[in-house]
Amino acid sequence: MFFIKLKTLNKMNENIQQLQLIEQNLQSFLMQKQQLQQELFEIDSALNELDKTDEAFKIVGSVMVSSDKNKLKEELNANKKEIDERLKILQNQEKIIKEKAEILRKKAMEDLKENGSK
């Protein structure tokens, strides 16, 4: 009886550790997602500003150089598309991890109820 209870407690502890790891991963995804969203915002702002002007500049290293407006728009749109794709992948991964976390939470709650009633 004692061995069974110890084994159950070890399994519960393992589930809780997995849940904590998943929560840390979710925090990491959230930070990455926010960074990508910030990059998208900056690209959108740059594209809007390009529409208002005839001259275009871009920063290369620590130097600002004149650039072809249309070429710069193409580069920004390509970057935007790439970030959008990365954001979608990240959101899909986040969804999968949230589902795993929910399953583990339910399992942990069931284990607690079962062991609490014994």
For the segment 45-94, what is each residue's pLDDT rounded down to a tens digit?
999 999 999 999 999 999 999 999 999 999 999 999 999 999 999 999 99
Q: pLDDT higher for 82 or 20?
A: 82
CB 108 within 8 A of CB 15: yes
Spell out the domains of the chain, with CATH numbers in brackets: 2-116 (1.10.287.370)
CB 70 within 8 A of CB 55: no
- The pLDDT score that the predictor gives to residue 91 is 93
Q: How confident is the model at residue 14 (pLDDT cuts 50, 70, 90)?
A: confident
Query: Collapsing DSSP states into helix, strand and coil, what is residue 1?
Result: coil
Round the average pLDDT of the chain to a whole number and report it: 88
DSSP string, 20-47: HHHHHHHHHHHHHHHHHHHHHHHHHHHH
